Amino acid sequence: MVVVVGSVNVDVVARLDRLPAEGETRAAEAGWIAPGGKGGNQAVAAARQSASVTLVSAVGRDPLAHTALATLREVGVRLAVAERPGIPTGMALVWLDAAGRNTIAVVPGANASVDASQLQALAPPGAADVVLISLEIPIPAAAAAAEWARAGGARVLVDPAPAPAALPAALWDVDVLMPNQGEAEHLLGHEVADGREEDAAQELQARGARLAIVKLGGRGLVWSTPERTGRIRAWAVPVVDTTGAGDAFAGALAAHLASGCEPEVALWRASRVAALACTTVGAQAVPTWAEVERRLGDQGGEE
C-alpha cells in the first residue's frame, strides 16, 4: 500500500501564447478548472500504476472540495481527508504557455491545516509499504508523517517542494529525496552547475537520503546511492503541459517501489510515466503503465 501525505487543490489554469511580462495583461487562449495539489496528483499517479493508495490531506467545506477530490474518487484512492469548515479548499493559479511551460501560484487554504494526528485514524503504520510526502502542507506535519512511516518499517519518499528554508532532520533521513534542480540548489545552499548534477545528487545522498534524485525536466534526471550514481535521459515526447510532471514521477516511483521493483527499475519506469504525462493537459492526466509501454516502447534510456 502507498500512503500519500500532501495537499489537495483546485487548479485554475489559463493557457496563453506566452507568459505575461510584469505589469502586462494578456488574453488567454483557453482556461479551465481541474483537480490538483501535489498530494492529490501523486495519489492519482500511484493509483494509475495499479497501487492501493490512501491520501492524507484536508479540504474546505465548500464547492471546490468536490472538484478537488473528483479524480481521486474515480481512480479508487482511499480518502483520509479532513473537512475544515470556515477554511477554503486550496487553489493553484496556473499560467501555461504554448511550449508547455508554466508559472504557478499556490493558495494553501485547508492544506495549511493538515495535521499528523490524521495519521492515527489509518491502519497501523506497518500496513504501508511506501509513504510519499510533499511539502505543500506544514513542515511539522510532514516530519511527523516521516517518523510515523519509519515506525512501521515503510519506505519514506520525500518530494521537497516547495523547498523550505530548512529541511528538518526527519526529512533528510529518508529512503528517497527527489528535488528538482532549483530545489536541490535551495536545499544545498549553492548553485548546481551544468554538468555537475551528479555531484549535487551525491551531496544530497551524503546528507542522509539513501537514494537522492535531482530532476532536470527536459534533460531527464540524475540519481545517487552510496554504491552508484547514474543518469536517465529524458524521453522524446511532444510536450503539451508540464504541470504535475514531477508529481506523476513521484507517484509512479512510489507505486513501482511498493510493487517490489528494484529502485533503478522503478526510476526508469517513473521517468517514462512522467514523460507521457506531459503529452496531455492537466496535472492528473497520468497514464497507466500499460499505456506507457504501448506508446513509448524503447525510446530513451539510462546512460
Note the pLDDT of residue 209: 97
| Domain of 71, in residue numbers | 2-7+37-88+111-296
Note the pLDDT of residue 281: 81
Q: Which residues contact 258 (CB under 8 A, 6 or more apart)?
A: 1, 2, 46, 51, 129, 130, 155
Note the pLDDT of residue 124: 61
Show which residues are catalytic: 247
Domain count, the chain: 1
> Which of 245, 170, 248 minimizes the C-alpha distance to 209?
170
Is the separation of the CB atoms in 5 and 137 below 8 Å?
yes
Structural domain includes residue 27? no
Provide the residue type at 17 as one letter.
Answer: D
pLDDT along the chain (303 residues), means of 10: 96 92 92 94 97 96 95 96 96 88 90 89 75 96 94 95 93 97 95 92 97 94 96 88 89 97 95 92 86 74 47
Structural domain includes residue 202? yes
Residue 200 Cα distances to 19, 79, 205, 235, angstroms: 30, 36, 9, 22
Under DSSP, the state recorded for 180 is B
Note the pLDDT of residue 255: 98
Structural domain includes residue 103? no
Instruction: Give the span between the Cα atoms of 200 and 182, in whole angstroms.
Output: 11
Structural domain includes residue 32? no
Q: Which residues contact 117 (CB under 8 A, 6 or more apart)?
A: none
* Beta strands at 90-96 and 9-15: parallel, antiparallel or unpaired: parallel
Structural domain includes residue 216? yes
Note the pLDDT of residue 195: 86
Structural domain includes residue 99? no
Structural domain includes residue 195? yes
Structural domain includes residue 240? yes
Note the pLDDT of residue 303: 45
Q: Where are the alpha helices (DSSP H) in 215-259?
A: 245-258
Note the pLDDT of residue 125: 60
> 499517479: which residue's cell?
45
Instruction: Give the span between the Cα atoms of 277 and 267, in whole angstroms.
Output: 15
Which CATH number is 291's domain given?
A: 3.40.1190.20
